Amino acid sequence: MKRLDKKVSLITGAAQGIGLATALKFAREGAIVVICDVKQSAVDSAVQQCEALGATAVGFVMDVTQREMVDAVVAQTKERFGRIDVLVNNAGITQDARLQKMTQDQFDRVIDVNLRGVFHCAQAVADTMTAQGGGSIINASSVVGIYGNFGQTNYAASKFGVIGFTKTWSRELGPKGVRVNAVAPGFIATPILDTIPEKVITELESRVPLNRLGRPEEIANVYAFLASDEASYINGAVIEVSGGMSV
């Protein structure tokens, strides 16, 4: 039997980067994959890639900041498959600027997606998971949410906040069989880094003992582990996956 056999797994931001790598990993591990992202064409492509691996996959256009959309996707997923076993709160954005230059729009948008969106999705699945007696919620934090980073006031605040969510929900939902954990990636080679100059990328690599950026698949592997029964006694943890950059 595969590690995530028939586990109904809802993944946000699942059409590119770490999210897509996670959807494909879950597909290979036997999960029923629910792809959620904001662009229809990208969602359709991700679904097709999962199906090509032999998985059952469905896709929804969903903006995590819109609670009505989140509730509708959760309701349709539950209606179709009868349960929701895993939520991967992966969707996230950056809009970087130094404190003195950051606009209110930049601040609000990142908090809305990265923090409020995580709240919406977790709250939307919590009743289902507790009623069925189990589930796994995995939140995407970041090393920036542990150590901070120049020019990322909004992003650091949102990722610190996600750790707070994780610690709190693990206490609230743990007694009902629902595990809540966070993953804190280091710098991963995804489209979110496209705006960063090459010189800065080289500098980032030099700060990592492994001397390279991470690959999306390396985060997906940890998500899959946390979603699986192999992680049945892991709850409230924040797992840093950064190549040792904080050592």
Is 155 tagged catalytic? yes
Identify the active-site residue in 147, 155, 223, 233: 155
* Residue in this structure with the two tokens 């009743």, named with its chain if needed: 127
User: Does residue 87 form part of some domain?
Assistant: yes
pLDDT, one tens digit per residue, over 211-238 is: 999 999 999 999 999 999 999 999 999 9
- Pair 90, 13: CB distance under 8 Å: yes
pLDDT tens-digit map of 41-100: 999 999 999 999 999 999 999 999 999 999 999 999 999 999 999 999 999 999 999 999
**Total domains, the chain:** 1
Pinpoint the alpha helices (H) of 53-181: 67-81, 104-111, 117-132, 144-147, 153-173
CATH code of the domain covering residue 130: 3.40.50.720
Domain annotation covers residue 202: no
Q: What's the predicted TM-score (pTM) here?
A: 0.97
What the block records as the tokens of 196 is 């960063």
Give the residue among 174, 159, 54 at the shortest CA–CA distance from 111.
159
Q: What is the pLDDT of residues 87-122, one digit of tens each?
A: 999 999 999 999 999 999 999 999 999 999 999 999
Residue 17: which domain range?
8-185+217-237
Q: Does 45 map to a domain? A: yes
Q: Is 208 within the bounds of a domain?
A: no
- Cβ-Cβ contacts under 8 Å for 111 (sequence gap 6 or more): 154, 157, 158, 161
Measured distance CA(162)–CA(89) in Å, rounded: 10
**Inter-axis angle of helices 117-132 and 67-81, nearest 10:** 30
In a domain, 210, yes or no: no
